[in-house]
Amino acid sequence: MLLNVSQQNKTKNNELETGNELLHGFSKQMHALATELFPMNRSITGNGVRETLGKLKEILPELQIHEVESGTQVFDWSIPNEWNLTEAYITDPSGRVICDTNVCNLHIVGYSIPIDLELDLDDLKEHIHTLPEKPDSIPYVTSYYKERWGFCMTHEQYQSLKPGKYKVHINTSLKSGSLTYGELKIPGESEKELFFSTYVCHPSMANNELSGPVLATFLAKWVTNKVDRRYSYRFIFIPETIGSITYLSKNLKELQTLMHAGFNITCVGDERSYSYLPSRDGNGLSDLVIQHVLKNTDPNYKSYSFLARGSDERQYCSPGVDLKVASLMRSKYEEYPEYHTSKDDLTLVTAKGLGDCLLSYMRSVAIIEDNDIYVANQLCEPQMGKRGLYPLLGNSILPEDTMRMMNILAYCDGEKSLLEVANVLDVPAWELIPLFTILKQHELIKRIANEQ
C-alpha cells in the first residue's frame, strides 16, 4: 500500500513530469510551428499578423480573429494606420541588390514609408541603422509613431559600403486599415479565468517573440484537452503595447471581474537560466505560482523587479487597471545578447527550451486548478497504520510519501492552500497533488474553500 502511494503519484501526474511523452511531442511541434512562422513579416498591424493568426487557428480552431479600425481611440492612444510591406531593398553603385527584405525582414525599419530614390552614400547613411558593438547582427528598429524610412544592416556590411550612387526601393503601404488580434476563450466550471497574453508583432525573431505565441498555442491546446477544468481560460495574441491597450480598452471591466490569475508569455524558448518578472506589487496568484514553480525547478532563477518590466504588464499592471499579470521566462527581453537582432533565431530557441517552459506553465495551471484550502477531518493525528498508510514497526524510517502526508495533515488547518502547504513543506506542489487526493479519498481531510 505504501508503495502504491508513489505508484499512484507517478501515474496520475505523468503529464507534469519532465521528459514525458506528450511533452516530447509538443516540444517538437512547437519548434516546427516557430519555423513556419519565422519568415512572416509581423508588425503591430498588417497582413503578417493575419497570416500568423491564421496559422495558429489551424491548431486552435476556436481562435477568434478581431479587427479594430485605424483611428479608433484607445485610452490615451489611437490605432495607427495599417502598414504592409511588399518588398524593400537597396541597389548599390555596382547594381547589386543589398539589404533585401526577401532575405531578412529586419532589413527594413518597421513602418517605413514607401520611397524610390537615388542618393549618395553619405545621405543614405543617415537612414541606416547598425550595431557597432555587435558588428555581425542586424538590429531591429521601428518607427510606429513618426513617419520616416530606414534600413538596418550589420555593421560589417555598413563599413564595406563603397562611395557612389545608391538606389533605395521601399514598397510599403501605410494607410487606414485595422489592427488585428486573436482571442481564445475556453470555458470551465467557474467563470473565473486564467488569463494568458502573448504578442505577435515582431518579424523574424525567435525568443522575443515567436516562443511566446507558439508556447501559448500548445498550452491552450493542452488546456482544451483537459477534462474537468475548474477555471475558464482566455488566451490573447496581440501586438505589444498598442494591442494590450486596445484589448484593455474593450475588455477592462470583464478582465477585472473574471481574472483569477494572469500571465504574460514571452521569451520562453531558449535554454538559459529561468527568469521571473512580477506584477506591480508582486503579490498576485500568478506571482506566487511562478515563484513556487521556479524555486522547485531552478533555484538560481533570476528574479527581476517590476522596474525591469518591458512588455504588456506595463499596461495590465498600470494604476487603475491593476491586473496582476506576471511572467515566467527563460532569458528575459533586453537581457540577452541576441535580443532584438537577427541573432535571435531558431538556433537560440530549441524544442527542449520550449518544452521546459511549457512544462512550467502546465505545472502552474495544474497548481492553480487544485489550489484548494483543506482542513483535517479529525482532531489529533489520525491512525494512519490501520489505513495502510504508515509502517507498523516502530523505529523504522518513514517513507517520503508518508512523511509528506503527515505534514500535509499537520498544516491542513483551514487556512492554508495547497500551494501554501507546499511552500511550508518546501516540496513541489505538483508532487503533493496526488497525496492530497489519497487523503481526501480516506476522508482524512476535506476541502473547505477555493484559494482566493
Q: Kindly list the residues in this chain that would bind a second copy in the complex (CB under 8 A).
A: 75-77, 110, 129, 139-146, 148, 241, 244-245, 248-249, 252, 280, 306-307, 309, 314-315, 317-322, 340, 375-376, 378-383, 385-386, 392-395, 406-407, 409-414, 424-425
Q: Closer CB to a second copy, residue 35 or residue 318?
A: 318
Residue 202 CB neighbours (<10 A) = 26
Give whichever of 114 and 139 is closer to a second copy, judged by the CB atom.
139
Residue 85 beta carbon to a second copy: minimum distance, rounded to whole angstroms: 16
Report the distance separating Cα 294 and Cα 276, nearest Å. 8
Smallest separation (angstroms) from a second copy to the CB of 264: 14
| Secondary structure element (H or E) that encloses residue 223, with its range | helix 211-225
Nearer to a second copy (CB atom), residue 136 or residue 413: 413
Q: Count other Cβ atoms within 10 Å, centred on residue 239.
A: 25
Strand residue runs (E) in 304-349: 325-329
Distance CA 22, CA 364 (A): 17
- Measured CA to CA in angstroms, residue 378 lies from 193, 381, 383 at distances of 34, 8, 10
Quick one: 59 or 425, whose CB is closer to a second copy? 425
| Shortest Å, Cβ 385 to a second copy | 5
Q: Are 332 and 308 in contact (CB under 8 A)?
A: yes
Q: How far is the CB of 253 from a second copy (least distance, A)?
A: 11
Using CA atoms, how far apart are residues 172 and 267, in angstroms rounded to an integer?
Answer: 29
Q: State the chain's maximal CA–CA distance in angstroms.
A: 92
Nearer to a second copy, 146 or 162 (CB): 146
Name the helix (H) or strand (E) containing 303: strand 302-303
Q: Are 263 and 286 in contact (CB under 8 A)?
A: yes
Q: Do 393 and 352 form a contact (C-beta atoms < 8 A)?
A: no
Judged by beta carbon, residue 49 or residue 56, the one nearer a second copy is 49
Shortest distance, position 349 Cβ to a second copy, whole Å: 20
Nearer CB in complex with a second copy: 160/378 = 378
Q: How far is the CB of 143 from a second copy (least distance, A)?
A: 5
Q: How many other β-carbons are positioned within 10 Å of the β-carbon of residue 39?
A: 13
Burial class of residue 10 (count of CB atoms within 10 Å of its CB; 0-12, 13-18, 19+) = exposed
Give least dist CB 239 to a second copy, A.
13
Q: Which is nearer to a second copy, 186 or 277 (CB)?
A: 277
**What is the closest distance, in whole angstroms, from the C-beta atom of residue 451 to a second copy in the complex?**
17
